[in-house]
Structures are given as structure tokens and as C-alpha cells.
């Protein structure tokens, strides 16, 4: 029994070290593969029931256990592609199969990977050459991300970039930094109106204007009235009905506050909000908040004894522009930049985390899938919780240490030879046993 168990132990040793040789070969072969996670093989002894009283021993042999070291990260290397994405720290990118997407499957599998070189295909879908599609939460038109469920992949969609489509940003706010000449409200002033056009962009990216008319009250008997009537018109509306509002503005001339707005009275049209210092204009394509200043404070619209001039007029929005670049920040927000300077948030790519990363099921192309051993996944904003940050222009290298693998290769070769020697020795001993009869 002991002789045959020794033979079986030698055979199990060959099998175990063959398994370790296979993992070493795989690790060395993939030492240059981005995102590859090395495999380790450990041995455990197998013990048969022993009879201590008889003094006999039966060899149980050895069994090999292999596991992939997923939670050990490789080094990051920089690239020239903004959509080469890696992770500095814990977490994984959500991806899905391009084959399933191309076949029109609605229930796309939720896969994970540590790094990927993504490019837009003919439909604008961000995918790798190996067939992985990047997933994310699409942004609303205003660039905000909707509230989503974090423990399911139901809200994730393939990241799409319309490379040949322009985009514009409608104007929603204008800050009116203008000086009105105080001398126009003084005794003997002409009372001639002053006009100003302020450009804005509509929902289609077309250029329109707010046409403002400032009419001074020149009825002062002495000193100045410090009073103006302001009319606001919209170039995009019917000329017969394009008057958005009329407002009476009185300026302060006291020491310390001179030149700032004292009061605003809405005579007609869209209202003025004294709490925010804004006129809420309803133009043809939507609404624009025209900021002139809060009465009693330092205001944007002023009246000083100098010439009529726009001092600092600012606005948001932009005309239609062509896409120039797409980048992802450390929090996973993917933004498109256009040649007009407009920056648009396209989506947010979350990071996937599981309690036991080494328990994930390994698939082709350095992808992984949850298993009962890994635990359920959760989608984090990059940088929140246990997750690290997302890095564009970067790829993660293999976590294989080639020097260590070559050392293990030498040890495995010697151990394999030793187990083969055990089998050879048992064979020779069995031959000696059978030769007794002769």
C-alpha cells in the first residue's frame, strides 16, 4: 500500500507542478498585456487515514489551487489618447460586450475591467478593439447627472459621442455691467434715449439680441433726477410684440453709495426680483435672467458722471461649434469641448466595487463578472467610498513580476523533475519486488 501511494503521490506532484507551470507560462506570456492580473498557484497536502499502531504510512499526495490576484494593481503608464482610461486605486470600469450590443440584445451583461483603450466607432459608441463597450450614466441636457440606483446596472448605457455633430449652449443668464451718464438726468439735459444691444444665443445656437433702451428723466428743476426708464426688447420676437418689460430705475446719490441702484419698479412685462437683482425675461426661446444688481448694494448697473459705456457685460451660452476633444476627469465626468469654447458634460462613468475582488469570475480580454464569492457590486462616484480616481491618458500594466516568475519557473522545473524521479524510483523498486520470484 505504501509503495503504490508513493507512486500516486509522485503522479499528483507532476500534475500539481504542471498546473503551476501553466500559470507561470500564462503570467509571463501576458506580462505586456494591459490590465492583466497574474495567477498564483498554491499547493495543499492530502492526508489519508493513518493507522498509528501499525506504523504504516500512506502518501496522500498534493493538490494545486490557483487563484487570480485581482486586487493587486499594476503600474500606470501615460499615453497620448484621452480615452485611454485607467484607475488609480480600487475599483473597476463598467463595460459590456460589443457583440451583444451589436446583436441588439436589450439585457446587456454587466462586466468589469481595470483599464481600456476606448475609441468611438461609426455610431459614436466608445469601445475597445477587443470588443468592450464603456458604460456610464448619460447626462441631462443641462449637464447634470440624474439620481440613479447604485446596486443595479439598469441605469447604465453605452457611452456615445457624436463626433460629427455640433453643439450649442443656449444663454440663460446675462450680467449687465453698464454705466449710465448721470449728467443726462441733470437740469437742461436733452433727455435723448441711449440704446444698447446685448447678444445672446437661442436654443438652436443662433445669435439673437436683447435690445435695451435707456431713457433719462430730464425734468429736473434743480440738480439731477437720477431716474431712468429702461425698455427691454427681444430681437427674436415679433417687432410688434417684442417689448419684454419696462422698468423705472432710481439711482442713489448719497455719500458712500452714490451711483448704485436705489430702487427698481416694474412698469410692465417681466418682473424684477429685488432679492436676486435679476429681471426674469421670457424671450422667444425660453428664459434669461438679466442681472442688474440688488437695490441698496453695489450693483452691476450704475449711474456715474462719465460717458455711457458697457463696463463688464458677461453671459453664458455659445453658438453651435464643432467637437474638438473629449476627456474624462478623475471623478468620471466625460466632457466634450467645442471650438467655440463650450464644454458639455456627456456622461459620468462610475467605478464598480465588490467586497472580494479576488472572488470575481475571470473572462476574456481582462474582464470580470460578479460571483457568489465576490459579493454583490455597488456603483460609486470615482473617489467616493473605497474607490480611487479615474485617469485619462493612462493605461494599467500587468501586475506580473517577470523576475519572480522566472524564479518560480526554475523551482517548478526542479520540483517536477524530483517528482518524476520519485516515480522512476518506485518503478525500480517494484521491478526488484517482481524479480524475487525469479
**What average pLDDT does the segment 86-115 reach?**
90
- Distance (Å, whole) CA 349 – CA 136: 4
Q: What is the pLDDT of residues 148-166, one digit of tens each?
A: 999 999 899 999 998 766 7
With pLDDT > 90 as the criterion, what percentage of the chain qualifies?
66
The predicted structure's pLDDT at residue 51:
61
Q: What is the pLDDT of residues 61-98, one digit of tens each?
A: 788 889 999 999 999 999 999 999 999 999 999 999 98
Dihedral sign (CA 257, 260, 265, 271): negative
List Cβ neighbours of 355 (8 Å cut-off, separation of 6 or more): 374, 375, 376
Q: Where are the beta strands (DSSP E) in 36-131?
A: 39-45, 62-68, 76-78, 84-88, 93-97, 111-113, 116-117, 119-120, 126-127
- Distance (Å, whole) CA 158 – CA 334: 13
- Does residue 4 have a pLDDT over 80? no
Domains delineated in the chain: 2-69+399-437 (no CATH), 81-161+351-396 (no CATH), 171-316 (2.60.98.20)
Q: Is 125 left (phi over 0), alpha (psi -120 to 50) or beta?
A: beta
The predicted structure's pLDDT at residue 164:
67
Identify the DSSP state of 2.
H
Q: What is the pLDDT of residues 361-401, one digit of tens each?
A: 999 999 999 999 999 999 999 999 999 999 999 999 999 99
The predicted structure's pLDDT at residue 135:
96
- Biggest CA-to-CA distance, the chain: 146
Q: What is the pLDDT of residues 313-326, one digit of tens each?
A: 999 988 888 889 99
Identify the DSSP state of 256.
T
pTM score, whole prediction: 0.77
Convert 168-185 to b/e letters by CB count within 10 Å (16 or more is b).
bbbbeebbbbbbbbbbbb
The predicted structure's pLDDT at residue 99:
86
**What average pLDDT does the segment 225-243 reach?**
92
**What average pLDDT does the segment 219-247 reach?**
92
Amino acid at each position: 500500500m505504501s509503495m503504490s501511494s508513493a507512486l500516486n503521490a509522485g503522479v499528483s506532484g507532476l500534475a500539481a507542478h504542471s498546473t503551476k507551470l501553466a500559470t507561470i507560462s500564462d503570467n509571463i506570456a501576458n506580462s505586456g498585456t494591459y490590465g492583466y492580473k497574474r495567477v498564483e498557484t498554491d499547493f495543499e497536502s492530502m492526508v489519508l487515514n493513518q493507522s498509528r499502531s501499525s506504523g504504516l504510512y500512506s502518501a496522500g499526495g498534493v493538490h494545486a489551487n490557483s487563484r487570480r490576484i485581482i486586487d493587486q494593481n499594476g503600474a500606470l503608464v501615460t499615453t497620448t489618447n484621452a480615452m485611454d482610461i485607467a484607475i488609480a486605486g480600487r475599483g473597476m470600469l463598467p463595460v459590456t460586450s460589443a457583440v451583444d450590443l451589436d446583436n441588439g440584445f436589450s439585457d446587456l451583461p454587466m462586466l468589469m475591467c481595470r483599464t481600456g483603450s476606448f475609441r468611438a466607432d461609426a455610431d459614436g459608441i466608445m469601445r475597445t478593439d477587443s470588443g468592450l463597450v464603456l458604460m456610464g450614466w448619460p447626462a441631462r441636457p443641462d449637464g447634470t447627472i440624474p439620481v440613479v440606483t447604485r446596486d443595479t446596472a439598469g441605469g447604465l448605457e453605452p457611452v456615445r459621442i457624436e463626433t460629427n455633430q455640433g453643439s450649442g449652449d443656449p444663454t440663460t443668464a446675462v450680467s449687465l455691467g453698464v454705466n449710465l451718464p448721470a449728467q443726462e438726468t441733470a437740469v437742461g439735459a436733452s433727455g435723448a434715449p441711449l440704446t444698447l444691444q446685448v447678444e445672446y444665443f437661442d436654443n438652436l445656437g443662433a445669435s439673437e439680441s436683447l435690445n435695451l433702451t435707456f431713457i433719462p428723466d430730464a425734468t429736473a428743476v434743480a440738480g439731477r433726477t437720477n431716474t431712468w426708464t429702461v425698455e427691454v426688447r427681444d430681437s427674436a420676437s415679433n417687432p410688434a410684440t417684442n417689448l419684454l418689460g419696462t422698468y423705472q430705475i432710481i439711482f442713489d446719490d448719497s455719500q458712500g453709495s452714490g451711483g448704485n441702484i436705489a430702487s427698481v419698479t416694474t412698469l410692465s412685462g417681466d418682473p424684477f426680483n429685488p432679492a436676486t437683482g435679476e429681471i426674469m425675461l421670457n424671450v422667444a426661446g425660453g428664459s434669461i435672467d438679466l442681472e442688474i444688481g440688488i437695490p441698496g448694494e453695489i450693483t452691476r448697473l450704475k449711474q456715474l458722471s462719465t460717458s455711457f459705456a458697457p463696463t463688464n457685460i458677461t453671459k453664458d451660452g455659445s453658438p453651435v461649434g464643432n467637437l474638438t476633444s473629449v476627456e474624462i476627469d478623475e471623478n468620471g465626468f466625460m466632457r466634450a469641448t467645442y471650438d467655440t469654447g463650450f464644454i458639455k458634460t456627456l456622461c459620468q462613468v462610475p467605478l464598480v466595487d465588490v467586497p472580494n475582488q479576488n472572488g470575481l469570475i475571470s473572462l476574456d480580454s481582462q474582464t470580470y463578472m460578479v460571483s457568489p464569492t465576490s459579493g454583490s457590486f455597488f456603483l460609486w462616484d470615482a473617489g467616493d467610498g473605497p474607490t480611487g480616481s479615474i485617469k485619462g491618458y493612462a493605461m494599467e500594466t500587468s501586475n506580473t513580476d517577470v523576475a519572480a516568475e522566472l524564479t518560480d519557473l526554475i523551482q517548478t522545473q526542479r520540483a517536477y523533475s524530483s517528482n518524476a524521479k520519485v516515480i522512476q524510483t518506485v518503478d525500480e523498486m517494484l521491478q526488484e519486488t517482481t524479480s524475487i520470484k525469479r
